Amino acid sequence: MAQAQRFRALLDLCKRRGFLFQSAEIHGGLRGAYDYGPLGVELKKNIAQSWWRRNVYFRDNVVGIDTSIVTPHNVLKASGHVDEFTDALVDCLLTKERFRPDKAPPINFKQDKGQSSGKISIISPDKETAKLWEQKIQNELAPGAVVTRQGKEVLLHVKEMTTTTYEPATNSPFLTDERPFNLMFKTFLDPIDPIDRVIKTTIENDTSDARTIRDQVDNVLRPSTVYLRPETAQGVFINFNQVMRTMKTKLPFGIAQMGKSFRNEIRLEHAIFRTPEFEQLELEYFTAPWESSAWFQYWQKDRLAWWLEHANNKADIRTRNHEADEMAHYAKGCMDVEYKFPWGWGEVEGVANRGNYDLTQHMKATGENFEVLEDKPIVSSHLKETALITSVPQEPTRFVPTVIESSCGLNRALLAFLCDAFQQVQEPGKESRTVLKLHPRFAPVKCAIMPLTGNAEFQPYVEKVARSLRRQGLYTVIEAQKLRIGKRYYRHDEIGTPFCITVDHQTLEDQTVTIRDRDTAEQHRIPITDVSSIINEKIWGDEAPELE
C-alpha cells in the first residue's frame, strides 16, 4: 500500500472507530481543528500518563505544575515572544493561499526547447476555477499577458524566468512581498469591547499613516491585552521561586507540565501534525552550569529511549542535532527526535539546552531574583563520571540555573504511534484486515471480555473478570455483540485491544477463561483468579504495580 493511501486508510479508521473527528463537522467544520473521540481520548491520556510516570513519578527530583493558558502581555514581552515569535508570510494574489516561503517547492517553469521563453503551469483544483483564474490574470494581475488553459491547468506564457524562490502549492507566481506574522493568538481581558477603543482611537488620530494608527491602538489596548500561551514553558519559569520555596527543592530538579498551547500557524497540515491548538508534554530541568552539558546529554538519551521502547519499527525513529543557524540565539544546543511519517521525517520532540536566558529575562523584567546559592558546589550523584563536567567552583557561588528542556508534542506523538501501529494483515484466502499494534500501555481498551453466547449463565463470570481488571485501573469493555467470536476478535484487533478474554462453557466447569493475544493470536487457558496479575504483567512488565 502506497504511503499516501496508507495514511488515508489510517485517518478513515480514526474517524470510523472513534479516535478523531473533524471539529464542528455538522456545521461545516473548522480548518485545523479536531475532536478526540472515545478511543482517541484514551490513547492520548495513556501516552501522557506514560510520559508523566517516567518523568515525574519515577524520579525523586521532578514535580508537576499546571499554569494558566491565558498569559499576560508582560510575561511574553519579557520572554521575547511578543517581538520575536514570528514567521515570514506570503500571500498569493491569485489563489488567496497563505504560506511560509520556505515550505514550498520551486516554480515549475516549462522552458521552450533552445529558448529562454516558456510557460508557468498553474494548477487549479478544477476546470471552473481554472477559467476564473485565467480571467483574473488577464484582467487584473497581468493585463496583456498571454494566458492559455488546458483543462484545470492555466499556462502563463513568459519570455524568461527571473528569481522567484518560492510559491504556493498551485505553482502561482503572483505573490506579495514577505512580511512578518506573529504566531500568537491575542485577545483581551476586559469587560469593555476593545473594538470601541479601536474605533475611537482611529477617529481621533489626525494622521493617515497606518503604522502610527496601529501603534496608538496597541498602546490603548495594552492594559487589557492577553495571549493564549504559545508554549507551556514560560508558566514554569515565572513560578521557579514559588516551586523552590514550597517544595524545598535543590538543584538539580525539574518541573513538568502537560497542557494546551496555541499558535496561529500559517499552514495547517497532515491532520493533527500541525494545528493551531495542540498539547505539550514539557519538562524544564534546572541545573548548575557546570553540570548542564552532562544533563543535556543525559536527557537526550533518556527521551530517545522512551520513544524506542514504545515503537514497533525502531528504524522509523531517529535523532537530529540542530545546526547553529537553526537554533534560537540563546540556545547552547538542540536535538530533535523525529519520526518517519508517510510524508517524510517530522519532529515529535525537542531536547534543548536553553542556558539561563528565560530566567534572566524574567529577572530583568520584574526584579525577581532567581539566583541560587551553592555553599559547597559539587557534582550531582545522579551523573556518572563524564568529561562533560567542567569548572566546578571551589568556593560558595551564586548563579542563575541553566535549563535543559524536553518538549514533546502530545498530538504528534499520538499520530506517530498510530502510524507506527497501523498494519494491514493479509491472510491466505481472506480479505486483508487492519491490526493496530499499539504498545499495550498505550492501547485505549486494555481488555475485551467476551461471553461465547448471550446465555445468562455466563454473566456472573463476565462481570467478575471485568470487575477485577477495572479495579486495577484498566479500561475494560464487555463485547457481547451477536457476532462470531472470531469477528469480535478482529474488531478489537482493529482498535488495538491487546487482550481478549473469552468466557465459555468450560468456564462454568472449572473457573477458567481463554486469553487471546492480539499480536500473536495465541490463546491460553488460565484461571479466573489469575487474570488481573497476568494482564498487569503483560502490560507493565517491570513497571507492573503490586496487586492486593
What CATH number corresponds to the domain at position 241?
Answer: 3.30.930.10
The closest of 534, 61, 522 to 284, measured between CA atoms, is: 61
411 and 513 inside one domain: no
539: which DSSP letter?
Answer: H
Q: Which residue has the cell 547552547?
A: 332
CATH classification at residue 509: 3.40.50.800
**Residue found by looking up cell 484461571 in the block:** 527
Alpha carbon 32 to chain centroid, angstroms: 13
What pLDDT is attached to residue 105? 46
Whether 299 and 258 map to the same domain: the answer is yes
Residue 34 contacts residue 22 (beta carbons within 8 Å): yes
| DSSP of 68-130 | -SEEEHHHHHHHTHHHH-EEEEEEBTTT--EE-GGGSPPP-EEEPTTSS-EEEEEE-SSHHHH
Do residues 240 and 368 both lie within one domain? yes
Please give, one letter per residue, the 3-state secondary structure of 128-195: HHHHHHHHHHHHHHCCCCCEEEECCEEEEEECCCCCCCCCCCCCCCCECCCEEEECCEEEECCCCCHH
The pLDDT of residue 172 is: 66
62, 73: one domain: yes
Sheet holding 153-158, edge to edge: 109-111, 118-123, 153-158, 147-150
Determine the Cα angle at 63 with ends 59 and 68, to 5°: 150
Which residues are paired to 92 by β-bridges? 175
* CA dist 136 → 94, 142, 149, 167 (Å): 7, 8, 13, 18
> What is the spatial distance between Cα 537 and Cα 535, in angstroms, rounded to a whole number?
5
Counting the structural domains of the chain, the total is: 4
Residues in the chain: 548
Measured distance CA(393)–CA(110) in Å, rounded? 66
21 falls within a domain = no
Q: For residue 23, what is the DSSP state?
A: T
| Same domain membership, residue 461 and residue 378 | no
The 8-class DSSP code of residue 429 comes to: T
Q: How many CB atoms lie within 10 A of CB 222?
A: 11
Cell triple for 330: 540563546
User: Is residue 119 one of the residues assigned to a domain?
Assistant: yes
Per residue of the chain (548 residues), what is the pLDDT tens digit?
588 899 999 999 999 999 999 999 999 998 889 999 999 999 999 999 999 999 999 999 999 999 999 999 999 999 999 888 777 777 788 877 777 776 654 455 455 555 556 788 888 888 888 898 889 888 988 888 888 998 888 888 877 655 444 445 556 677 787 777 778 999 988 887 888 878 887 777 766 676 777 778 788 888 889 999 999 999 999 999 999 999 998 999 999 999 999 998 877 889 999 999 999 999 999 999 999 999 999 999 999 999 999 999 999 999 999 998 888 888 899 999 999 999 999 999 999 999 999 999 999 999 999 999 998 888 887 776 677 887 888 899 999 999 999 999 999 999 999 999 999 988 888 888 999 999 999 999 999 999 998 889 999 999 999 999 999 999 999 998 888 999 999 999 999 999 999 999 999 999 999 999 999 999 999 999 999 999 999 998 876 555 44
Nearest in space to 508 (alpha carbons), one of 470, 466, 469, 459: 459
Same domain, 345 and 387: yes
Q: Give the cell for residue 212.
A: 502610527
Going by C-alpha positions, the residue among 436, 113, 128, 419 that lies closest to residue 271 is 419
pLDDT at position 255, please?
Answer: 98
For residue 64, what is the DSSP state? E
In a domain, 29, yes or no: no
Given this model, what pLDDT does residue 168 score?
55
What domain range includes position 147?
A: 89-180
Identify whether residues 241 and 345 lie together within a single domain: yes
Hey, is 297 helix, strand or coil?
helix
Residue 541 vs residues 51, 538, 544: alpha-carbon distances, Å: 16, 6, 5
Residues 405 and 302 placed together within one structural domain of the fold: yes
Q: How far apart are CA 281 and CA 418, in angstroms?
A: 18
Predicted local confidence at residue 548, as pLDDT: 44
- What order do you get walking across the sheet with 523-527 strand by strand? 476-478, 447-451, 499-503, 512-517, 523-527
Residue 436 lies in a domain: no
Are 415 and 275 spatial neighbours (Cβ–Cβ below 8 Å)?
no
Q: Please say which residue of 193, 227, 261 terminates a domain.
A: 227
Q: Say if 428 falls within a structural domain.
A: no
Any domain includes 145: yes
d(CA 492, CA 479): 9
* Per-residue confidence (pLDDT) for residue 547, from 0 to 100: 46
| 348 and 388 within one domain | yes
User: Strand pairing partners for 196?
Assistant: none
539: cell is 502490560
Last-in-domain residue among 122, 150, 180: 180
In a domain, 425, yes or no: no
Claim to verify: residue 340 and residue 389 sit in the same structural domain: yes
Residues 211 and 155 in one domain: no
The reply to whether 156 and 58 lie within a common domain is no
Does residue 285 sit within a domain? yes
| pTM of the shown model | 0.85
CA distance 546 to 62: 23
Supply 194's cell numbers: 476593545
> H/E element holding 43?
helix 38-52
CA distance 548 to 545: 10
